[in-house]
């Protein structure tokens, strides 16, 4: 059947054209059995009427014969009268037709009532009302349709849309949640998620968005609303056993913070914030982490366990034992070829960011504390080796007095403005420190390094080295040849 308005082909039983919205009017089909019964009843009534007509005529004739004498006597006093059987037929047929009309009308009324109580009719009326922006009526019709057949999930999804357009946002949200819970196999679940999340986004209900997205298995939706999600953080290394040093990184799925623990406790927003890779050396580790997005929604906790099975490198061997020394000495460190040696002179534990050992180290003048560590190719460190030294020499001039003599001569030579170290044509100043003691041609000298301190207190090496005889205070310019070895030149050269 085609739509009488636009000619669109219609499915059987459709009451509304889906293309133009024209209402389709059907002529109700009468019940065939009822029609047959009516025909049979009318035929029977007509047959009985035909039988009764001759009988009545005979009875009337007999009555007339019995009263002939009487009627003849008074015939002139009575009007002539003839029985009209044709009028009786018309009356009876009229009654029958009236009955048929009443029964037909009842059948039509019953059909119309049944039609209005059908799912298709109510659904069609809902679409028709919505096309005219009468969403209140559309909601009523669609609710009646679902009361007749509540298995129609498409109609339920459409009802959520009509609810929202009718200003019933909370009812729309309830319907959408029901679909997600009760119709897990619904083919348009992604559209349901999309509509529901857009409602929550307008309401700034970020907690609800996070909870909904945490259970969403539709990749398109999770990607679209990614910034509102808080997925468990990802680990660059899966838990397991490793025979090498590893570095573990943690990453959230969007903007936010990763919180983690390594003491076995569950992370909270008071736990350590991940900022740099976590270095795992030999041993057992359990890292628990969670991600919190910028909207404050927290993910579930992700945990990984690691067993790092490594043999730490051997500690470096230091040539010079701790103690007090009265002549120049060199500190040497011995280590395996696949390791690097790092050291500090302030007593702190060295690491790969500390000063690296390359060549023998001159024993510093005065007291010093060295710490050494060997770090192999996997980044695994050895046990720390510490040494404490004190270098003192017998002299006529101590180191402080030697530095004062040097400053006085530099002022006299015009290289300093004053003994405070102010420098001509510069805002900064020079400072001087005794680095070590060197032996040259059988004599001992304080080796003094010159450094320039700028106005921001940054220290710069001037590459000027001086030597002061520990007994005579004679001044020289010194040039380092190798560790512990210096050449001397006249001071005024």
pLDDT at 406: 96
Model confidence band, residue 310 (pLDDT cutoffs 50, 70, 90): confident
User: Whose CA is closest to 434, among 409, 397, 408?
Assistant: 397
Looking at per-residue pLDDT, the higher value among 114 and 241 belongs to: 241
Q: Are 22 and 14 in contact (CB under 8 A)?
A: no
Other Cβ atoms less than 10 A from the Cβ of 127: the count is 18
Q: Is the pLDDT of residue 28 over 50?
A: no
Helix locations, 85-168, DSSP H: 85-116, 119-131, 135-148, 153-165
Handedness of CA 394, 397, 402, 406 (dihedral sign): negative
Report the alpha-carbon distance of residue 472 to residue 320 in Å, rounded.
Answer: 30
Q: Which of 61-70, 145-154, 194-203, 292-301 has the lowest mean pLDDT?
A: 61-70
pLDDT at 10: 67
pLDDT at 98: 67
pLDDT at 74: 46
Q: Is the pLDDT of residue 20 over 70?
A: no
Helix axes 189-203, 169-182, angle to 10 degrees: 140
Report the alpha-carbon distance of residue 161 to residue 96 in Å, rounded.
Answer: 53
Q: Which of 45-54, 103-112, 276-285, 415-424 has the lowest mean pLDDT?
A: 103-112
> Average of pLDDT values for 246-269?
95
pLDDT at 78: 47
Q: b or e along 454-474 (b: 16 or more beta carbons within 10 Å of the residue's beta carbon)? A: eeeeeeeeeebbbbbbbeebe
Q: Is the pLDDT of residue 484 over 60?
A: yes
Q: Is the pLDDT of residue 437 over 80?
A: yes
Q: Is the pLDDT of residue 274 over 80?
A: yes
> Average of pLDDT values for 328-332?
96
Q: Is the pLDDT of residue 160 over 90?
A: yes
pLDDT at 3: 75
pLDDT at 126: 93
Q: Is the pLDDT of residue 177 over 50?
A: yes
pLDDT at 281: 82
Percent of the chain topping pLDDT 90: 66
* Structure confidence by residue, pLDDT tens digits, 85-133: 566 566 666 666 666 676 655 555 544 455 567 999 999 999 999 999 9
> Average of pLDDT values for 215-234?
92
Would you put residue 304 in left (φ > 0), alpha (ψ -120 to 50) or beta? beta
Q: Is the pLDDT of residue 443 over 90?
A: yes
Report the alpha-carbon distance of residue 143 to residue 221 in Å, rounded.
Answer: 29
Q: Is the pLDDT of residue 196 over 80?
A: yes
pLDDT at 30: 44
Decide: pTM greater than 0.75: no
> Average of pLDDT values for 459-470?
96
> Average of pLDDT values for 379-386?
89
Q: Are 357 and 294 in contact (CB under 8 A)?
A: no
pLDDT at 337: 73
Judged by DSSP in three states, 317 sits in strand
Q: Which of 75-89, 249-263, 312-326, 334-348 has the lowest mean pLDDT?
A: 75-89
Q: Is the pLDDT of residue 335 over 90?
A: no
Judged by DSSP in three states, 313 sits in coil
């Amino acid at each position: 059947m085609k739509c009488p308005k636009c000619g669109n082909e219609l499915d059987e039983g459709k009451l509304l054209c889906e293309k133009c919205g024209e209402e389709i009017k059907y002529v109700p089909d009468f019940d065939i059995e009822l029609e047959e019964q009516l025909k049979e009843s009318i035929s029977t009534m007509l047959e009985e009427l035909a039988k009764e007509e001759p009988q009545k005529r005979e009875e009337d004739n007999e009555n007339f014969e019995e009263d002939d004498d009487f009627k003849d006597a008074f015939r002139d006093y009575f009007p002539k009268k003839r029985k009209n059987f044709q009028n009786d037929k018309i009356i009876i047929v009229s009654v029958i037709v009236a009955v048929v009309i009443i029964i037909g009308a009842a059948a039509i009324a019953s059909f119309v009532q049944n039609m209005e109580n059908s799912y298709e009719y109510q659904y069609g009326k809902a679409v028709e009302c919505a096309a005219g922006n009468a969403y209140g009526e559309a909601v009523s019709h669609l609710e009646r349709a679902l009361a007749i057949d509540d298995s129609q999930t498409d109609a339920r999804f459409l009802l959520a849309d009509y609810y929202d357009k009718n200003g019933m946002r909370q009812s729309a949200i309830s319907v959408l949640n029901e679909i997600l819970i009760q119709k897990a196999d619904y083919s348009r679940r992604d559209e349901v998620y999309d509509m529901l999340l857009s409602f929550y986004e307008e309401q700034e209900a970020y907690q609800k968005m996070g909870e909904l997205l945490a259970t969403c298995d539709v990749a398109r939706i999770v990607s679209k609303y990614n910034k509102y999600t808080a997925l468990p953080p990802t680990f660059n290394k899966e838990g397991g056993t490793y025979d090498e040093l590893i570095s573990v990184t943690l990453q959230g799925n969007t903007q936010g913070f990763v919180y983690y623990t390594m003491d076995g406790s569950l992370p909270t927003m008071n736990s350590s914030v991940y900022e740099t890779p976590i270095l795992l050396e030999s041993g057992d580790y359990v890292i628990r982490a969670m991600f919190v997005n910028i909207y404050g929604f927290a993910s579930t906790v992700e945990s990984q366990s690691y067993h790092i099975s490594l043999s730490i490198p051997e500690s470096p061997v230091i040539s010079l034992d701790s103690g007090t020394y009265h002549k120049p000495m060199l500190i040497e460190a011995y280590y395996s070829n696949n390791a690097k040696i790092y050291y500090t002179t302030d007593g702190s534990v060295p690491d790969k960011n500390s000063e690296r050992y390359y060549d023998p180290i001159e024993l510093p003048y005065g007291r010093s504390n060295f710490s050494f560590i060997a770090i192999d190719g996997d980044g695994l460190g050895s046990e720390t080796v510490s040494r404490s030294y004190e270098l003192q020499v017998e002299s006529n001039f101590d180191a402080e007095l030697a530095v004062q003599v040097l400053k006085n001569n530099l002022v006299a030579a015009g290289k300093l403005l004053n003994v405070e170290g102010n420098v001509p044509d510069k805002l900064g100043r020079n400072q001087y420190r005794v680095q070590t003691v060197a032996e040259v041609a059988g004599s001992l000298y304080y080796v003094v390094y010159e450094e320039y301190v700028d106005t921001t207190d940054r220290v710069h090496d001037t590459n000027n080295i001086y030597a002061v005889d520990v007994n005579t205070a004679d001044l020289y310019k010194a040039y380092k040849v190798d560790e512990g070895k210096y050449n001397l030149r006249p001071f005024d050269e």
